[in-house]
Structure 1
Amino acid sequence: MSVAVCSLKWDEATAPTQKITYDADGYHLVRFPYTADCESYDPWGMHEPASGGTLASKYPDARSGLIWPSHAGWGVVSALVFWEADDDALEYRARFVRDPLRLTPDGYDSTATTDMAPTRGGQYRSYMWQMFVTPGVPIGFKVSARGAGDVKLATPITLAEFKLAIHTDVLTPV
């Protein structure tokens, strides 16, 4: 079975700190640089600055948070995020989203939303989900740190990874 892979990484040491800003859905779209300096792997060109617009995207604009599937198939998405310790945070959430910026007629489609209570110290979480993916419909990884009364906090993240593995030979019954 053939697999097309895109693996993105961001950390404080290799790219400027991400300012946590929340979209209308109450989540921050995690951004990734367009360089291989962060252990990124993208031989299929699924994280290209030209994708999704007339002008090239530049990290850390919102489009730098997108993976554009190169093939149709069964996608396995995974992500990792580290948050700094925040005594005000009562909940951490994450989700995978098809078309998080509403750039296609398909529109915003979130899936695999997860929420967790904090543990002591920093928060270190990994996530995985599987879904069909299609070229032309980007995928993003969104996070949120929330305090009392569902207040969205600007809790900094210190590391993030986002990966897509597309199984291109999905069988159908005959």
Structure 2
Amino acid sequence: MTVHVCSLKTDSPQSIAGGGGYSIVRFPYAVGAESYDPHGMHEQQDPHGYEVRDWQRDERSGLVWPAVEGWATLTSLIYWEAGDYDELRDRYVRDPLGLSTGADSTATEHRPPSPGIQCFHKTHQMFVHPGTPVALLAGHTASKSVRITLAEFKLAIVPEGI
């Protein structure tokens, strides 16, 4: 059985706008310490031919394009810097930019800050399809932008028929 895996990690801080909305968490394309993408699900040029030039500014750098149809386990980790937020938010979204089937969110969590460092881990399972990208989105209720200082996003797909 071949499990298709994409594992992304960044410790480059990225700013998330305040006000409670969601932003796509972006990831670099260069393979690094824990990044792993042997099935080409996080390529700089997407299946539509669009090429991301600056991963830190382009939301498409947060998209993972499933290589096969199947049952997927999504796992993520987010570390937040301190801020005046009352709530931290995250969710997984199929097609967050409306490139194929339209946005469809799942596993949405809103949580108050905890004492100490703000670090959150989540896992969710769902069906995925080639041509419909998935992404990790995050948000907060602070009055100004706050940075994510570390983020990981992992997708493991067991193909249909196995």
Q: Identify unmatched segments of 5+ residues in structure 1.
A: none
Instruction: Write out the 4+ residue segments of structure 1 that deviate beyond 4 Å after TM superposition.
Output: none
Q: Deviations over 1:61-99 (max 9, x none)?
A: 11000100000000110100000122x111111000000
Q: State the shift of 1:18 in Å.
A: 1.6
Q: Residues 146-161 of structure 1 correspond to what in structure 2 (within 5 A)?
A: 146-147=141-142, 153-161=144-152
TM-score by length of structure 1 reads 0.85
1:68 maps to 65
1:91 maps to 87
Q: State the shift of 1:21 in Å.
A: 3.9
2:38 equivalent to 1:43: yes
Greater relative contact order: 1 or 2 (C-alpha under 8 angstroms, separation 6 or more)? Answer: 2
1:78 maps to 75
The structure with the larger Rg is 1
**Correspondence for 2:109 among 110, 114, 126:** 114
Q: State the shift of 1:50 in Å.
A: 0.9
Q: Partner letter of residue 165 of structure 1?
A: A
2:4 maps to 4
2:157 equivalent to 1:166: yes
2:9 equivalent to 1:18: no
> For 1:6 and 1:95, how far apart are their aligned partners in 2?
18
CA contact (8 A) 2:80 2:117 kept: yes
**Correspondence for 1:54 among 45, 49, 53:** 49
CA contact (8 A) 1:50 1:57 kept: yes
Q: SS of 1:36's equivalent? A: coil
Q: Identify unmatched segments of 5+ residues in structure 2.
A: none
> For 1:138 and 1:38, how far apart are their aligned partners in 2?
24
CA contact (8 A) 1:9 1:161 kept: yes
1:102 maps to 98
- Cα RMSD, aligned residues only: 1.9
> For 2:44 and 2:109, how far apart are their aligned partners in 1?
29
Q: Deviations over 1:95-142 (max 9, x none)?
A: 0000011111x1000001011111123200001110000000000000
Identity of aligned residues (%): 47
CA contact (8 A) 1:72 1:135 kept: yes
> For 2:50 and 2:155, how far apart are their aligned partners in 1?
24
